[in-house]
Every structure is written in C-alpha cells, then in structure tokens.
Chains A and B, each alone.
Chain A
C-alpha cells in the first residue's frame, strides 16, 4: 500500500526498534537524492529538548517500515553513529527547502516549500515538490524521474507548472497523468 505525504511530516517521527521496542531517536533530517528520486537516509536526533541534537544516521536500506506514527527498524545497530564516517558516506548536501525552482525554459516558478514523497511499506520515493509561487500561492508539482539540483536552483520540466495541483488529492491524479505521459490513466 502506498501513500503520498510531505517530507516535513516525517521530521520528529520516532524511530523504534523491532527487537527491543526502544525509541532510539526521532527523524531530524530527510536526505533525498533528487536525481534518482529516492530518499537515501535520515539523520536522527534524541528525543526531548535536552537530548543530543544528532544521534546518527539511518540509511533507507535498514528501515523495516515507515508507519503513520513511527519509523520501525530491526535493531539499534541500524543507526550509524556520526564517528563512523557519515560525512564521507552521504557526500555533499544542499538544503532543498527555499531552493529556487526553474523550468527547462528558464522561467522561475518560485521556491521549494516541501518535498512530496510516495511512501511504501519500507521505502520512500520523491514524486514531487511543493512550490511557493511569487504570488505566495503554493502548488504541488509532480515529477516523474529525477531532477537536477545545485546550490543555485532546482530544475524541473517545462510542463511542471501546467501539471501542478493545489492539494494532495489532485496531486495524486496529476502524478498519474505525468506517469502516463500526459494522458488520462485508464480506469
């Protein structure tokens, strides 16, 4: 079963082990690979204001379930502590929220306010971006396949703005249209 949600909704979700039912932390950052449309990892923070601001990193392979209320992992050994070479493993990172969105034609659509994910039982893929336009209105842009991102901008296809939806219900239909090459999906 799949569901569509915002990446920011995962932030703060507790991470619980299956073997000991222990909450090892909660999601801090969602690390995505826009070129492969994948969620590759999560960074974890401790629970509570005085807990550690960074506990470690959790790769997407070690996740057993992304649930409505918690993320489940097999054991606490799945959490890689920072001393184990996290920086080398995840490479260079760029903040996605606030990034300018430009289409292939060179038109600016606004800035990214959130990333839309398709959540399966054990994995999450990037399926679109919530963009705040220059008029202040937010639109959900479906993306089928990878997009380019740099320190300067996120580049989306020319028809991205035309396919945009206002809400998650409309976004699901827009995503189906994009996946079917602009045609209405067969019932």
Chain B
C-alpha cells in the first residue's frame, strides 16, 4: 500500500515537473514580430483642444 502511494506521489511529482518545464519553454520561445506603428497620441484631439480651437475660431 505504502509502495503504491509512493509511486503515485512520484508520478504526480513527475507530471508537475514536466508541466513546469513545458510552460517555461513556452514562455521562453522566441519568434519574429512585426512592429506595426509606434503608439503616439500626437494626432489625438482632446476635448480641451477642441474647445480651444473652437474658441479661437
């Protein structure tokens, strides 16, 4: 009985280690990515900008 429990615990530990290694390899996997456009807010008009331009007009 104890032997079965020990084997079961070892199998469980093995599965946990395999899962950890697999997850780690997935996290570390590299690839090639395209950068589409740098984020910039320079073209975004805020409410205060619109108010200012409206006041100027």
Contacts and interface: CB of A to CB of B under 8 A. Distances in A.
A49 B30 contact: no
A43 B21 CA distance: 21
Interface in A70-114: 87-97, 114
B56 interface: no
B28 A92 contact: no
B33 A31 contact: yes
Contact of A91 (B24, B27, B36): B36
Q: Which of the four size classes fits the interface of chain A?
A: 20 to 34
The secondary structure that dominates the B interface is: mixed
Interface of A: 7-8, 11-12, 27-34, 40-41, 43, 45, 49-50, 53, 87-97, 114-115, 149-150
B43 interface: no
B28 A28 contact: yes
A32 B27 CA distance: 20
20 contacts: A8-B32, A11-B30, A28-B30, A29-B33, A32-B32, A32-B33, A43-B30, A49-B25, A49-B28, A53-B27, A87-B39, A89-B38, A91-B38, A93-B34, A94-B36, A95-B32, A96-B31, A114-B32, A115-B32, A149-B34
